[in-house]
Structure formats: C-alpha cells, structure tokens
Amino acid sequence: MKKNLLIVAIVAMASLFLAAGIYAGTAFVDNVKMENKIYSAHTKGIADFSHKKHAEDYKIGCGECHHDASNKPLSLKAGDNVQGCAECHPKPGLAPKGKDAPKLSAAEKMQFHAEAIHANCIGCHKASNDKTGTKNAPTACTKCHPSAK
C-alpha cells in the first residue's frame, strides 16, 4: 500500500513539473518594455510594444519581427519560445556615425541592437504608412520613446 502511494506521489510530482515546463514554453507576454540588459543606461525612454495590437489589430505575423540568421521570417505562433533580439544583435546602441567612424557593412551595422530594432520597426512602420497612405505608424523617436524619466 505504501509503495503504491509513493508511486502515485512520484507520478503526480512528475506531472506537475511537466505541466509547468509546458506552460513556461507557451506563456505569452502582450506588452513588452523594449528594455535590454546589454545597456548600462538608456538615453531615451523605453518603448512599449504590444504583441496583441500588432498581431490582432494590424494582422502582422510573428515572423515579421522574429527572423533567422538569414533574415527569413520564423514560423511562430503566440507562446513559442524565441530568442531575444540581443542574442544576435549583441552590441548596445547604434553603429558609430560621422566622418571618423569606421566604414561598416550592412551586416556589421546589424550587430548593433538599436540599429537592428530601428531598421525592423521603423522600416515596417514606413512601409505601412506608404501602403495605407497615412502616417498612422510612428516613425519619429518621441512617438515610440516616451520622455526619459
């Protein structure tokens, strides 16, 4: 009897761990503060991103932002595990600019986190505005980055 009770308890505990692991892989966060650990300090306010608004209201697929090393869209659905942007774009900030700045290739510029994020977001917003003939998608800094606190 005690042996059966022990087996039931072990199976129940294993089931709980398995369920927690499955849930952790499918947890979905709607509003994301575009804050990243690679920055020691941010110079602008932190942009907020709504997955729900982009997916449901604007009908934008996950792969529009989440892509592979060849910049091909990933086939994802809400809750799939994805790497953060800084995993592949690990240098903080924008690429150096100015006459004394090193000449970087497009791929080298994409190593800079803010460069990659801005290219992705602003590029998509500009394309949306061109397609709709509006200026509804923000392209100015202060429209996405609130005043720094």
DSSP string computed for 31-90: EEE---TT-SS-SSPPPEEEHHIIIIIS---GGGT-B-TTSPBP---TT-----GGGTS-
Flag whether 69 is in a domain: yes
Residue in this structure with the two tokens 């595990």, named with its chain if needed: 81
CATH code, domain carrying 135: 3.90.10.10
- Tokens representing residue 2 in the block: 């005690």
User: 34 — phi, psi (to 5°)?
Assistant: -80, 55
In a domain, 135, yes or no: yes
Q: pTM, whole model, 2 decimals?
A: 0.71
pLDDT top residue among 139 and 2: 139
106 belongs to a structural domain: yes
Domain that includes residue 44, residue range: 29-144
Answer yes or no: is 21 within a domain.
no
Nearest residue to 92 via CA among 46, 39, 45:
39
Question: What is the CA 29 to chain-centroid distance, rounded?
Answer: 11
| 140 lies in some domain | yes
- For 89-128, the pLDDT digits (tens) are 999 999 999 999 999 999 999 999 999 999 999 999 999 9
pLDDT in tens, 16-72: 444 444 444 445 678 888 888 888 888 888 999 998 899 889 999 888 889 988 889
Residue 33 confidence (pLDDT): 85
Question: Could you count the other beta carbons within 10 Å of the beta carbon of residue 13?
Answer: 10
Residue 16: inside a domain, yes or no? no
Query: Once rounded to an integer, what is the mean pLDDT over residues 71-90?
Result: 88
Q: Evaluate whether residue 134 is within a structural domain.
A: yes
Residue 20 belongs to a domain: no
Which one has a higher pLDDT value, 9 or 131? 131
Please state the domain count of the chain: 1
> In this predicted structure, what is the pLDDT of residue 21?
42
Which pLDDT belongs to residue 140? Answer: 92
